[in-house]
Structure 1
């Protein structure tokens, strides 16, 4: 055989090797039987069962029911009955006494603070009452025709009232408005040392006697 024939045979053999990948001879592909559809379905189902991303999990009982909880608590209670209490391991009497002493001290401090707070509140209440009384004393009489305060009449001063009543008793209630006006302007008011030396009118003396409950004849 010539060399050209040998090379042609080698090239044909290599080409046939490429065409026979995966064990299938493409030259004889017509001779292969057609695949069975049922077998393919079974194979796909089997593959899915083996390589599924999830698996069916059985329900498990983890013991969190109320009945199980009561049973466990009862078991622990029975076990605790057979153990010793804490004061059998160490003495707690001294610590208890210290706690009681501390509580007594705290209680005493709280009582003192409470008394002090009560005293403060009482003082504040009294101060408010005093301020209110002082405001009432200094409150002026306001006119209905305007907002200007009017000064209360000095005739209703206690010292003036005492001297007027004493003067009326000395004269046995035989006092006229004219006589009372002169007595107040010349004797009573100067005797009380008023800086501005005020005087009153006869009508004021007449009204003054009416306010005191005295009646006179014209």
Structure 2
């Protein structure tokens, strides 16, 4: 799965976050993102209906890679995998989730923001991690500093990433992709304006292509 995920992210290195309690709206939001060229989706487990939304996306769409974000415990990780999650993202590094994902062959992106956390992830056998919260944890300068000492590590900055600073993050060679919720604005989704979501996705894809040459 990691190989397929890497191929998708090489083509469009942006992972939109969907935080939606209504499965029908989650599906519509996902389709709007896919129409804009983004096919790797992170459904954040921050609300009671989020997992049902992820299940609906997996059931009602095709050709996408759909993962679960904001996974906090091992039990939750097992639950979302049972529901079909194809990758897992956490806000922090939890050893037992990392070991479970490695054993099961599930791509796992734990949140890291210090050298100690990145080194711990490396020691556990991970080579790709989330950098979170990116804007508060030092942004591009911190990523460059990490890259100089952790040559094998690849990062997915999330938290404070936007269309304005996306080129700066993607200019760092160790960045595999950027995650963000700016692509799924609540006001547009509340209004049923999925065309705006598609337009933001297309803009992100265009920015990424220019940034990556």
Bigger helix fraction: 1
Say yes or no: TM over 0.5.
no
**Which of 1 and 2 has higher RCO (CA within 8 Å, sep 6+)?**
2
Which TM-score band applies after superposition, normalised by the shorter structure? Answer: under 0.3
Report the TM-score, using the length of structure 2 for normalisation.
Answer: 0.19
